[in-house]
Amino acid sequence: MTGRPPRTIRVPGDKSLSHRALMLAGLARGRSVLRGLLPSADVQSTAACLRAMGVSIPTLTDEIVVDGRGRRGLHAPTEALDCGNSGTSARLLTGIVAGAGLPARLIGDASLSKRPMRRVTTPLSAMGAEFAFEAGDGLPLRIVRGVSSPVAWPSPTASAQVKSAILLAGLVSGLPVSVTEPERSRDHSERMLAALGVPLTVDGTTVSVEAYADELPAFALTVPGDPSSAAFFAAYAVLTGRPVRTSAISVNPTRTGFFEVLVRMGAVITTTDAGLECGEPVACLEVQGQLGAPAVIAPGEVPSLIDELPLLACLAAYAPGETRVTGASELRVKESDRISAVVAALRAVGAEADELPDGFVVRGRPGARYHGSIVTHGDHRLAMAFGVLGAVPGNDIVVDDPDCVVVSFPGFWDLLQAAGA
């Protein structure tokens, strides 16, 4: 322990919850009050798409009022729905639009257009929807016909986006649906739906929504801080010996895998001010300690820390021994091929790392100094992970595209600089 008082970090609103809060407020009947939304580029994309379908959403500030259209009140957009770089926007809105039976065309930037969409359109097609791909299996994508029948979908992968698209299609259409996953993925959608009174059941890894004929009620929600954003400062604390305390963040058990692994590697984490917000458990975290062991991440753990795995790779560069991640092939279809990109970046700064087909191996060197330039491929999580590694005293790492962090964490660099002040 350092004896230093922890520096308080105000973590921005959770990105996953911000997307869902906007979508459900748009589908609710009446005026919903949303506080603490993340005003990132990805969330702005969701807001713009909802506006294009008739939802009244003001400029995203710390508190906004959304005038919802009701489950069946959206109208067909007159222009393409531009999802920008946001996979959450593209996949969840595909479920909503198909559920509403609206003709629409979804587009995205070059990176998003490379990401697979059939994992969403296949189960929605089983519900009777029809889609037209313009190139490959990504965006642009046209929704030709909406859903018309129930589905009990056995998802081959654990994906909160796939699961949420199906649940939202069922909610909007009024059709009963269920999704069974091989492992439990993030459960933000089902927690929020249940808190709003939607008839929903969870049985192991199966989530079901009954036929829903009511209007979704308007609601008030304060979005807690994003644990994926807090993770960067938890890593900073153990890498630099400077303890941090976060503002209230989501401590949803499907999102805390990184912090559990960090404790196994030697960190000391305490929680305070625990509470509940729209079905989501929240708390403040205090993080200190130092790395004393490597990590072995088995496939069953991957869904709970999929977004933090590039950061874990950077931490592993300082952990004694060999850190190994398997069962993470999903990383290859994120904003970049994160397995290949993170290993290449680690090698570029002098760390020892190797690719696996479904993960990576990093051999840590406590006390090492890392120097060099890394290529992010426009991937925000790579930029921030190597930003944290570069903040370790004695390191000098140049990130090629620091501005790419705006899709999820617009104030990241200023906050990282303040953490070390």
Active site amino acids: 307
8-state DSSP, 6? P
- Cα 320 from chain centroid? 29
Closest C-alpha among 177, 182, 175, 214 to residue 197: 214
Is residue 298 helix, strand or coil? Answer: coil
- The span from the CA of 294 to the CA of 363, in Å, is 9
Per the CB < 8 A criterion, the answer to whether 100 and 77 are in contact is no
Alpha-helical runs (H) found in 333-406: 338-348, 380-390
Rounded CA gap, 278 and 110, in Å?
35
Q: Please, which residues bridge with residue 151 across strands?
A: 177
Q: Find the helix packing angle between 380-390 and 412-419, rounded to 10°.
A: 20
Check: CB of residue 57 under 8 Å from CB of residue 37. Answer: no
Q: How far is CA 295 from CA 48, 116, 234, in A?
A: 41, 30, 16
Bridge partner list, 105 = 142
Per-residue CA distances from 397 to 167, 344, 374 (Å): 43, 14, 7
**Helical H runs in 280-357?**
309-316, 338-348
- Nearest CA-CA partner of 164 in 217, 106, 196, 207: 207
By C-alpha distance, which of 124, 187, 117 is closest to 150? 124
DSSP string, 283-317: EEEEEEE---S--EE-GGGGGGSGGGHHHHHHHHT
| Residue 392 to residue 118: CA distance in whole angstroms | 41
**E strand or H helix that includes residue 363:** strand 359-364
Q: Report cis status (omega within 30 of 0) of the bond before 6.
A: no
